[in-house]
Amino acid sequence: MAFNLKGRSLLTLRDYTPEEIRFLLDISRQAKQERRAGVIQQRFQGKTLAMLFEKRSTRTRCAFETAFGEEGGHPVFLSMADIQLGSKESVEDTARVLGRMFDAIEFRGFKQETVETLAKYSGVPVYNGLTDLYHPTQILADLMTVEEEFGGLRGIRIVYCGDGRNNVANSLMIGSAKMGLHYVLASPKELWPAEDLVAACREYAAPTGATITITDRMEEAIPGAQAIYTDVWVSMGEEAKAQERLKLLAPYQVNAAAMAATGLPETIFLHCLPAVKGQEVTVDVIDGPRSRCWDEAENRKHTIKAIMLATI
């Protein structure tokens, strides 16, 4: 079934229904097949995309820029050294101006409020390329990768180890709840997600058959994990917490023992990247045969293209 998502922003997956997420994943698969087959289309010809980055990026920037450019569109990269956003000009006014010149806007930065304000005042689709709270485009790529591996999403046990309240963990919990996965978080209590978000995710989970389990015990979380996911222990902007995090999160490292403790030979390893090898994951796991993080990185491009195809 086709959905009309024209004009929609993607600020958080909380705003998307399971059917709409399914629709985006189907377009992603098609976009990947087209690229593999060398089919060249020009579906963004004559269109422009503003790409605003307050924080650094490899995958998200390159995914948006190449996906938009290879379809004939003109992406414009704007770092905080280039534009006035929030310093000399309010976010509202910047949004109004960009909305007059661009067909869509991507934003990566600190506050969720900024990406929401851009959407409110620009009048064009706005995509959240990561804020402190959410990373929705990442989770579409993660779901795509899980589906490629297991042929479906419903009932898959995905275990996230580490900082349970960062942007990636929050969004993975939302995406899992909406798409019927069993989301298990292994994290120290100090880093558990906000209670209102957990409650909302339990509501999303009710009709999809998903479950949300939160524990501080790795030995409870890991057995039966079909996918083990981790992310950095210190997210961008939290560098002052590095020492504290290293101590707190050491027991949650994904290593050979954790992979073996799933009891399943088919467990895959996922990481949004960039990784700090030797901290949240050991080299043998991330560079080993069960790692799917490079497919996951590639899938950022196909899923991001799908979002733009659906909404522009």
Report, as residue numbers or ranges, the catalytic residues: 108, 135, 138, 231, 272, 300
Rounded CA-CA distance 159/214 in Å is: 10
Location of structure tokens 């060398």: 38
Instruction: Please report how close the Cβ of residue 245 comes to ligand NVA at its closest, in angstroms.
Output: 11
The distance from CA 54 to its chain's CA centroid, rounded to whole angstroms, is 17
Tell which one of 9, 12, 28, 60 touches ligand CP (CB under 6 A): 60
Tell which one of 8, 32, 47, 59 touches ligand CP (CB under 6 A): 59
Residue with the closest Cβ to ligand NVA?
A: 235
> Strand 227-230 to strand 268-271: parallel, antiparallel, or no bridges (unpaired)?
parallel
Instruction: Please report how close the Cβ of residue 160 comes to ligand CP at its closest, in angstroms.
Output: 14
Instruction: Please report how close the Cβ of residue 234 comes to ligand NVA at its closest, in angstroms.
Output: 8
Tell which one of 5, 249, 254, 272 touches ligand NVA (CB under 6 A): 272
* Number of residues engaging ligand CP in binding (CB under 6 A): 9
Is 7 exposed, middle or buried (CB count within 10 Å of its CB: 0-12, 13-18, 19+)?
exposed
Q: Is 94 in the site for ligand NVA (CB under 6 A)?
A: no
Tell which one of 106, 231, 280, 296 touches ligand NVA (CB under 6 A): 231
Is 59 exposed, middle or buried (CB count within 10 Å of its CB: 0-12, 13-18, 19+)?
buried
Q: How many CA atoms lie within 13 A of 22 on its CB side?
A: 13
Greatest distance between any 2 Cα atoms in the chain: 56
The amino acid occupying position 209 is: G
Enumerate residues 102-141 that contact ligand CP by CB under 6 A.
Answer: 130, 138
Interacting stretch for ligand NVA, rule CB under 6 A, among 139-147, 214-222, 229-237, 240-248? 229-237
* Binding characters for ligand NVA, 150-189, by CB under 6 A (x = yes): ----------------xxx---------------------
Alpha helices in 206-241, H assignment, sequence order = 218-221
Is there a contact between 164 and 230 (Cβ–Cβ < 8 Å)?
no
The amino acid occupying position 84 is: Q
* Number of residues engaging ligand NVA in binding (CB under 6 A): 9
Residue 166's binding partner out of ligand CP, ligand NVA, none, with CB under 5 to 8 Å set by partner kind: ligand NVA
Interacting stretch for ligand CP, rule CB under 6 A, among 39-47, 73-81, 82-90, 266-274? 266-274
Backbone angles phi, psi at 28, to 5 degrees: -60, -45
Buried b (16+ CB within 10 A) or exposed e, 149-176: beeebeebbbbbbbbbbbbbbbbbbbbb
Which residues in this chain contact ligand NVA in the complex, by CB under 6 A? 130, 166-168, 231-232, 235-236, 272
Which residues in this chain contact ligand CP in the complex, by CB under 6 A? 57-60, 130, 138, 272-274
